[in-house]
Amino acid sequence: MTTTTTLDRLRAIVRPDALSGSAHSTAGYLDLLPPPSDQPQRGAQRAMNNPAVVAVYEGPWRWGQTVAYTGITPAAERRRAAAALQLRGTQRLLDVACGPGNFTKYLGRQLDQEGLAVGLDFSEPMLRRAVRTNVADSVGYIRADARTLPFDDGSFDAVCCFAALYLVPEPFKVLDEMMRVLTPGGRIAVMTSCTRGPAPLRSVSVTLAALGGLHGFDRSDITSVLRAADFRDIDQEVRGLSQFVSAIKG
């Protein structure tokens, strides 16, 4: 379980105003939100809060999803993420929509004990599993809304979101927040959906995805946002129905 020391480190980097009210850590992660039942949810969010989904997500669900959409295994995906983020030493990493923390823990192992990998998610069941199965000395978890990240500008040396940005409401607002909390010179990495084919087919795909609470990203959606925000060394790899994008904040 996440140690008290790790929880203290999490509190130290959260904005003081976000720690007021209902903030607590009795489940082993820092919880900054009211219960999910108090907030509206879309179909995709309800699935990620379903204990049955959580039970298989870290194993067969995630493995099948990754291979089907990207053509590579989760292990290869994690190695690609680590290479893009170039984590080292005492850096801070934020893993947005971390789920059960399988990426968070792996990436946290690239850091020294003085470094910190923070997994952030909305789902209580996902975070409960994360603190049971994916903790380490340099890893801690926070329940918060990714649309209003509870951190000051430039709080992290690296920020990532893997196979989740298309699941969240207002994904471009989440992307803006990810860029905001990244320090100049820091690295961002995103793996998300990518619509393919002729324009009419892409339009139908986006419409069908939206019915289930999902967002179908066009090939240029992520890169154009990063370019407009003066990110440099933008790299994009499209595989299957997914895209992996990495860049450095200018």
How many whole angstroms separate alpha carbon 223 and alpha carbon 122?
Answer: 26
Lowest mean pLDDT among 130-144, 199-213, 224-238: 199-213
- Give Cβ neighbours of residue 197 (< 8 Å, ≥ 6 apart): 205
Whether the pLDDT of residue 80 is over 90: the answer is: yes
**Considering only 34-38, 98-102, 159-163, which range has the smallest mean pLDDT?**
34-38
Cβ–Cβ < 8 Å for 117, 104: yes
Mean pLDDT within 213-239: 92
Query: Could you give the CA distance from residue 120 to residue 22 in angstroms, rounded to a whole number?
Result: 17
Write out the DSSP string of 85-154: HT--TT-EEEEET-TTSHHHHHHHTTS-TTSEEEEEES-HHHHHHHHHHS-BTTEEEEE--GGG-SS-TT
Q: How far apart are CA 110 and CA 137, in angstroms?
A: 12
Give residue 35's pLDDT.
Answer: 77
Q: What is the mean pLDDT of residues 74-84?
A: 91
Residue 75 pLDDT level (bands cut at 50, 70, 90): confident
Q: Which residue has the higher pLDDT, 184 or 137?
A: 184
> What phi, psi does 226 have (nearest 5°)?
-65, -40
> Highest mean pLDDT: which of 91-95, 208-212, 218-222?
91-95
Average pLDDT over residues 64-78: 71
**pLDDT confidence tier of residue 201, bands split at 50, 70 and 90:** very low
Percentage of the chain surpassing pLDDT 70?
75
Query: 153, 170, 202, 146: which is closest to 33 by C-alpha?
Result: 146
Going from the N-terminus, what domains does the chain have, and what CATH number goes with each? 6-249 (3.40.50.150)
